[in-house]
Amino acid sequence: MIVGWFGSPGALGGRDAIVNLQQEKKVTKLQTKIALFIGLGLGALLPGAKADEWNQRTVLTFSGPVEMPGQILPAGTYVFKVANSNSSRHIVQVFNEEEDHVFGTFLAIPSQRHQASDKTIIRFEERAAGSPQAIKAWFYPHRTYGHEFVYPKKEALELAKANNVPVLATPTEMPRISKPEVSMKAPEILALLVVPLKEEEPNGEELELAQAAAPSSPPAELPQELPATASPLPLLGGIGLLSLGISLALRRIAARAK
């Protein structure tokens, strides 16, 4: 028995059009899914990059105890962050590794290096034998400006004599601030931002900071957005490669659908 199919050429063209339309819908759906995937991926990457650049979040591990202004940090892993201060003085917080406990909130002023490093730089001050090294300054990667910590007068004088260099100091002991969230309008923070600063000399003399060669302030203080000095090239390069791969994949799918 012969079975025939009767129809016009126009009918054949109509069936082909329906098949092609269904194939195009499949490609469009796939494109939508890929675009959604890219959007979610970028959303996960960019906020994290901006947050770390803005507060300079840095994880540091010390093999032995180190001194910070007013206290000793035991050996361990810590997270350093810069609080949002809109003054020429910086407020730095030190957290535990889980970031659910604050060891201290410290006053610092801008410190400058001649050349930026691609790694975190910690400057130490030597102490007397048997005493832990004192952290003098902290520099975030790729920046020439960092944070020089201000020590209480007694500690600053000891550091000045031990290292034969001037050391920044506050004339009085400052209260310890261990709150996870710090408001720049809190009384204890305002006290840090206005306390007069001294410079303890190795010979025991004390100078007003204005008399000493005070470090100059950085041109842009704690930007609210991703700093221009933080290069986005690695991230953009990754996005470009991902886009290229997806484009090639879509071309292959479209070619198979024809």
Q: What is the pLDDT of residues 34-77, one digit of tens each?
A: 544 444 444 444 444 445 788 999 999 999 999 999 999 999 99
Q: Do 234 and 150 share a structural domain?
A: no
Tell me the residue type at 163: N
Q: Do 232 and 155 share a structural domain?
A: no
Say which range, 130-134, 146-150, 176-180, 188-192, has the weakest mean pLDDT: 176-180
Percent of the chain with pLDDT over 90: 36
Cβ atoms of 59 and 95 within 8 Å: the answer is no
Cβ atoms of 142 and 130 within 8 Å: the answer is no
Q: Do 63 and 184 share a structural domain?
A: yes
Run of H or E residues at 36: helix 9-55
The pLDDT score that the predictor gives to residue 54 is 84
Residue 243 domain flag: yes
The pLDDT score that the predictor gives to residue 58 is 96
Q: What are the backbone angles phi and psi of residue 147, rounded to the nearest 5°?
A: -130, 115
The model carries a pTM of 0.62
The pLDDT score that the predictor gives to residue 40 is 46
What CA–CA distance (Å, rounded) separates 4 from 20? 24
Q: Residue 172 class from Cβ within 10 Å (0-12 exposed, 13-18 middle, 19+ buried)?
A: exposed
Asked whether the predicted pLDDT for residue 238 surpasses 60, the reply is no
Instruction: Say how many residues make up the chain.
Output: 258
Among 78-92, 128-142, 173-187, the range of highest mean pLDDT = 128-142
Q: Do 143 and 82 share a structural domain?
A: yes
State how many domains the chain has: 2
Q: Do 190 and 247 share a structural domain?
A: no
Tell me the pLDDT tens digit for each residue of 20-34: 445 555 545 555 555
Asked whether the predicted pLDDT for residue 239 surpasses 80, the reply is no
Q: Residue 93 class from Cβ within 10 Å (0-12 exposed, 13-18 middle, 19+ buried)?
A: buried
Q: From the CA atom positions of the chain, what is the Rg in Å?
A: 30
Among 93-102, 169-178, 239-248, the range of highest mean pLDDT = 93-102
Q: Which residue has the higher pLDDT, 130 or 236?
A: 130
The pLDDT score that the predictor gives to residue 184 is 75
Q: Which two tokens stand for residue 118?
A: 């691609």
Helix then strand then coil, in percent of the chain rounded to 5, is 35, 25, 40
Domain encompassing residue 140: 52-226
Q: Which whole number is the average pLDDT over 143-159?
A: 92
Q: Do 235 and 147 share a structural domain?
A: no
The pLDDT score that the predictor gives to residue 252 is 67
Residue 56 domain flag: yes
Q: Is the dihedral of CA 97, 102, 104, 109 positive or negative?
A: positive
Q: Do 245 and 222 share a structural domain?
A: no
Cβ atoms of 122 and 135 within 8 Å: the answer is yes
Listed in sequence order, the residues at least 6 apart from 216 whose beta carbon sits closer than 8 Å to its beta carbon are: 110, 112
Residue 170 domain flag: yes
Q: Which whole number is the average pLDDT over 108-113?
A: 90
- Which residue in the block uniquely carries the two structure tokens 């770390």? 52
Q: Do 70 and 181 share a structural domain?
A: yes
Q: Do 202 and 164 share a structural domain?
A: yes
Q: Residue 77 class from Cβ within 10 Å (0-12 exposed, 13-18 middle, 19+ buried)?
A: exposed
Q: Do 235 and 220 share a structural domain?
A: no
Q: Which residue has the higher pLDDT, 147 or 129?
A: 147
The pLDDT score that the predictor gives to residue 147 is 94
Asked whether the predicted pLDDT for residue 228 surpasses 90, the reply is no
Q: Which whole number is the average pLDDT over 97-101?
A: 93
What CA–CA distance (Å, rounded) separates 52 from 142? 13
Q: Do 157 and 83 share a structural domain?
A: yes
The pLDDT score that the predictor gives to residue 24 is 52
Residue 6 domain flag: no
One DSSP character per residue, 157-189 reads HHHHHHHTS-EEEESSPPPP---SS--TTSHHH
Q: Which residue has the higher pLDDT, 130 or 110?
A: 110
Q: Which whole number is the average pLDDT over 199-208?
A: 89
